[in-house]
Amino acid sequence: MRLRNIPGADAAITESVYCIKSPETHKGHWQEIFPSQQPLHIEIGMGKGRFMMDLAAAHPDINYLGIERYSSVLLRALQKMEENPLPNLFFICMDAADVAEVFDHGEVDRIYLNFSDPWPKDRHAKRRLTSRQFFARYDEVLAPEGHLEFKTDNQDLFTFSLEEIPEAGWHLDASTRDLHHDPVLNEGNIMTEYEEKFSSLGNPICKLIASR
C-alpha cells in the first residue's frame, strides 16, 4: 500500500514532545523518560496510535512506547496525544529492524504486534514481523518472563506465524482464530483501528501469545 506523504509531518515529529528523538541514546535507560518506573510495553507498527493510547489510559501502572516507521502515520497519533496527553506513553519513529539497537537486553516486558504487513510473497518472508529473523531481534530485548502478543485478520500470515514460533525457539502460550468469540483471550481485549474495521466486515480476528 502506498502511503500518502503529508507535508510537514517530519517537522511536526521533530518538534513534538511526545516523540522521542535519537532513541538509541536511551538504550538501557528508557525508564528515565517516564514519571514512574514501571513495566515497559511496546507496540511495533502502531499505526495511528489508538491501541497504544487506549492501553495507556486503561493501565496507568505500565509505561508504553509506540513504534511507527512512517511519519505521515505517526503524525495522526501525535495529533491525538496533543488532545489527550498521557504521561505513560511516548512514540518513536523508527524501523522495526532496529529494535535491538534501541532497547537493552531484557528491557521490554511485553511486545505487541497488530495487523502487521503480511508481505505475501515468499521471497519477502523474512520481512514479516513474526518471522524467525524478527523473533531473534525480540529475543535480545524481551525480559525473561516477557510475552509477545500478535493479532491479525490474515489467515495465511497467522499460519506462518504459528509455524515460525517453534523454529525460532519460542513457545506458543495461547492462540485462537476467532478472538472475539474466545471467552478467555478476548477478555479485556482492546481493539485497533484495523481490528474494528475488519471485524465489522465479518473477518475473524486471530491472536497468539508467545514466550521464550
- Which are the catalytic amino acids? 117
Is residue 156 a known part of a binding site?
no
Write down how long the chain is: 212
Q: Output the DSSP codes for 69-116.
A: S-HHHHHHHHHHHHHS--TTEEEEE--GGGHHHHS-TT-EEEEEEES-
Helix (H, G, I), strand (E, B) or coil at 23: helix
Is residue 98 a known part of a binding site?
no
- Supply 120's cell numbers: 505475501
Whole-angstrom distance, CA of residue 67 vs CA of residue 64: 10
Whole-angstrom distance, CA of residue 5 vs CA of residue 112: 26
Residue at grid coordinates 497504544: 52
Is residue 195 a known part of a binding site?
yes
Is residue 159 a known part of a binding site?
no
Is residue 153 a known part of a binding site?
yes
Is residue 194 a known part of a binding site?
yes
Q: How far is CA 197 from the centre of its chain?
A: 18
Is residue 43 a known part of a binding site?
yes
In order of 8, 41, 107, 180, 197, the CA distances from 140 in angstroms are 35, 15, 9, 32, 33
**Strand pairing partners for 93?**
68
Is residue 109 a known part of a binding site?
no
Is residue 164 a known part of a binding site?
no
Is residue 117 a known part of a binding site?
yes
Please state the residue numbers annotated as binding site for S-adenosyl-L-methionine.
43, 68, 95, 117
Please state the residue numbers annotated as binding site.
43, 68, 95, 117, 121, 153, 192-195
